[in-house]
Amino acid sequence: MDGGGRLWILVTLLLTLAAAAAAAASTTRRRHAYAAMMYMGTPRDYEFYVAMRVMMRSLAKLNVDADLVVIASVDVPVRWVQTLQEEDGVRVVTVENLKNPYENQDNFNTRFKLTLNKLYAWSLVSYDRVVMLDSDNIFLQRTDELFQCGQFCAVFINPCIFHTGLFVLQPSMDVFKNMLHELEIGRENPDGADQGFLASYFPDLLDQQMFHPPINGTKLDGTYRLPLGYQMDASYYYLKLRWSIPCGPNSVITFPSAPWLKPWYWWSWPVLPLGLSWHEQRRKNLGYGSEVPVLLIQAIMYAGIIAVTRLARPSLSKLCYNRRPEKSIMILHAMLKVAAMWSILAAYTVPFFLIPRTVHPLLGWSLYVLGVASLSSIVINVFLLPPLPVLTVLLGILGSLVVMAFPWYSDGVVRALVVFAYAFCCAPMVWASLIKVSSSLQNLLEREAFFPRLGESTQVPEFNKLY
């Protein structure tokens, strides 16, 4: 064999070894992990799945020195699991749902039924430390120093009860089995969820020292309180419209708010200013490719409706009036008024529910305005209503969005007062528009072209067309 052949074999061998080393490195588990759980059975499963992906990708973009783990129940769709593994680089651990023994408590909320799956974090014994997370966290910077904390560490965003949206733990099968035993014997749990169980399991955490990461990188033993900067409640921001948390690094924002005001919903902004921060994270890390086709289809449909209704709009000059009383159709008149009012209500509500929930707020609100305008055009044409009174509420909504999105308020109190003043000023105009719509309907009912007499021809006499 000549020298060229030997060189080719050597190069091939080196490339093969490099590829094998890279593959081995990619499958090697780190000593630490950021973990979150995912389960099915709520009306918002898909939204939490999207939120999970955004959070995991934001952690990966911060180059954290830890594995990304999702504890997924067995009923999570296979395609979701594959997406997490193949596209997001997440390790998925499949588990059986833990039975919640607190379902019969008076204060039990069914949306927390499977949150006890979070206890599986203690079974991840291949890791030295695990930071357990809820999916409604926004990471502003790396928090790898948390892996130096002790056996259990959490943040008190409530003065007396720590929050389980982020906590540090040392995995242990002994602790995990003991927790399962405590579930079986019915340990006290104030809320029937993971929050109440862990607060009962670690009752003395409030009396422990504050965590400060050792400079030399060593791990601590015991339990510690984490500084508030690791779980900055979004409600603190809304009071002053800025962060002012002196204890600990301002690293993580959490949203323990009402379920329908989570930051990933398009309507959460500008109602809650921080909603745009979450969507900025999604735009940078995940994008909106899955929702864009639906948005385009809806936009084209709404634009088509507006075009058709404009072309098909009847000429009002061809309508004639019947001034003779029609007592026999009074019930039909009342039904027509109800139908018109319900149609206007539907024009404002149907587009809201058709828009994908997790799109960017700017796209969501734009599509909502277009949808309301298009469906309102149908109502205006069918019932021959004046456009401005029907669209007054839409104009009021647009004004409220501008008022809430105004970026130069001094604090949240001023912002709330301005929004209240705007609503107070708009209320009379909305009421006047409703009266105008009702008056227009009453005029419509007197038009012979809409309700002709039974047995009479609907053809409009030539001499009456210009009345």
Residue 457's pLDDT is what? Answer: 47
Q: Consecutive sets of 10 residues in the chain, 467 residues long: mean pLDDT of each?
A: 52 47 53 96 92 95 96 96 96 95 86 93 97 95 96 92 95 97 90 93 95 93 95 88 80 87 93 91 92 95 92 51 51 81 95 96 97 95 90 96 93 94 95 92 65 46 38
Cα atoms in the 13 Å half-sphere on the side-chain side of 67: 24
Q: Tokens for 115, please give them.
A: 């949150």
Using one digit for the tens of pLDDT, what is the confidence trace for 265-299? 999 999 998 989 999 999 999 999 989 999 999 99
Residue 454's pLDDT is what? Answer: 41
Distance separating alpha carbons of residues 38 and 45, to the nearest angstrom: 8
CB 267 within 8 A of CB 361: yes
Residue 28's pLDDT is what? Answer: 67
Residue 333's pLDDT is what? Answer: 72
> What is the pTM for the complete model shown?
0.84
